[in-house]
Structure formats: structure tokens, C-alpha cells
Amino acid sequence: MSTLTVAAVQADIQWLDKTANFAALEALIVAYFRDHDALDLLLLPETFSTGFCTHDPMVKEPADGGDDLVWLKHMAAQHHCVMAGTVLVAAGDKKANRFYWVRPDGRVEFYDKRHLFRLGNEGDYVAQGMDRKVFEINGFRILPQVCYDLRFPVFSRNRQDYDLLVNVANWPAARRHVWDTLLKARAMENQAYVIGVNRVGSDGSGVAHSGGTCVLDFVGEPMVAASDNQVQIISTTLDIAKLDQFKQSFPAYLDADEFELK
């Protein structure tokens, strides 16, 4: 039987202050492990070390790895779990909003955010990711997504190649109802577990975030959820046998329309 113990960090990201963010995250994570057993996967919000500052040309890590990746590798090795979250990384004359997937043994995979937030001019500074990725751990296939990706169900469509969709975000409080609704929709329509990881607090542009970090089962019901406007780590264990049993009893995926992404 394959299970996956996951944790999601709902953090208040300090604007352009990596030292403060690393220290706060480390303190949260250490406190979590005082009261919990081993973990397989720990998820951080989008741009966890700097906040969503895409326009500043200085806010980008080297393409071959910088402070953020070093920190992720250290934390993954120390706590024997996959660490994941996004970092702004140099990509030609722009940068990538890169979802790093860092294993305890130091191996790194990544997904670059595909859907760039037009309202915030993200595309002026960030290069569009082109590849859809699926990561694997403990028999679970995991589709990584970043914030605005959540609005695009064609890209999220389960081709029966994933069991868990993960979205890490800086989703504003003003559109919180959209976040809550679409996370549930992605779980229901794709018959997959869904984890949404969002931040709290205001960023350097004065945008407020209320959280909404949660784990949903394959029918869109919450398994665990963070309290609004609170820094918190939530965790639970997912069971792939329960997902498989549900899909066998209600095989809606067999009636899905065929399509291809270009």
C-alpha cells in the first residue's frame, strides 16, 4: 500500500528578505518535527524566499543554483523529505518562476510556471515555461503547478498520469473565493488529490493574502486546512489505494474527451 505524508507551509513572506524568510521557515519546520513523525514531502508557497517581486532585475537566482537551492538541499537532507517551492531564476534576458523539487539525496527536478499573470505584468519579466512535468514519490505521481496555472483546466487535465495536483501560490485575498472554488473543481474533475499552498500577509506592493492552504481529497472534500491569516504548517497522509478504489467505483475518466496540448 502506497501512502504519502505531506506538509504545507502557510507563511508570511517578508519582502526581499531571504535571511528573515529562511530563519522563519526553519523555525516553523523544526517546531513541526518536534510533534510529528517522518515526512515525505514539504511544500512552500510561490517565491517563498523573496515574495512575488518579478519586476526587480536583481531578484533572480543563477540558473545553475543559488542561495535558495542550497537552502532547499540542506533542508531536504536534514529532514529526509522532498522540499518544493518556487524561486525566480535567471532565464536568458528574463527569469523563470521555477518550481524546484529537491530530494533528500540532492537530486533536483523542476517545473517552470506556464501561465503568467497578465494583470501583474508577470510576462514582461518572466519567461513562460513550456513543459508539463510530473514528479514521482512513494508510488504517487504529482503534477506541479504555480498560482495562476490554477485557472486553466486544460493544462491541469488529468491524462491518467497523476494522482496528486500541487499548486503553490501567492494568491491575493481579493480573489480568495476563486482559489477555494478552483482547487475543489480541479480535484473533482480530475479525480485526484489536490494541495493548495498559499501565503498570508501583505507583500511589498501592498497586496494582502489570507491563506487558504489546504489538502483536498479526490471528490473535493477538505482533509485538512490552515486557519485564515495565520502562519501555520498543516499535514496529512494520502492513500493511493483509496484513490484507486474510488476511480474503479466511479470511472468518469473513461468518458473524458481526447485532446492534445500545443
Q: List the catalytic residues.
A: 46, 113, 147
| Amino acid, res. 237 | T
Determine how β-strand 193-197 pairs with β-strand 164-168: parallel
Gap between the Cα atoms of 85 and 69, Å rounded: 10
Gap between the Cα atoms of 57 and 60, Å rounded: 7
Residue in the structure block whose three cell numbers are 524561486: 87
Report yes or no: 154 and 164 within 8 Å, Cβ to Cβ: no
Whole-angstrom CA distances from 133 to 72, 75, 136, 224 are 19, 23, 10, 26
DSSP state for residue 161 in the 8-state scheme: -
Q: Is the dihedral of CA 46, 101, 69, 111 positive or negative?
A: negative
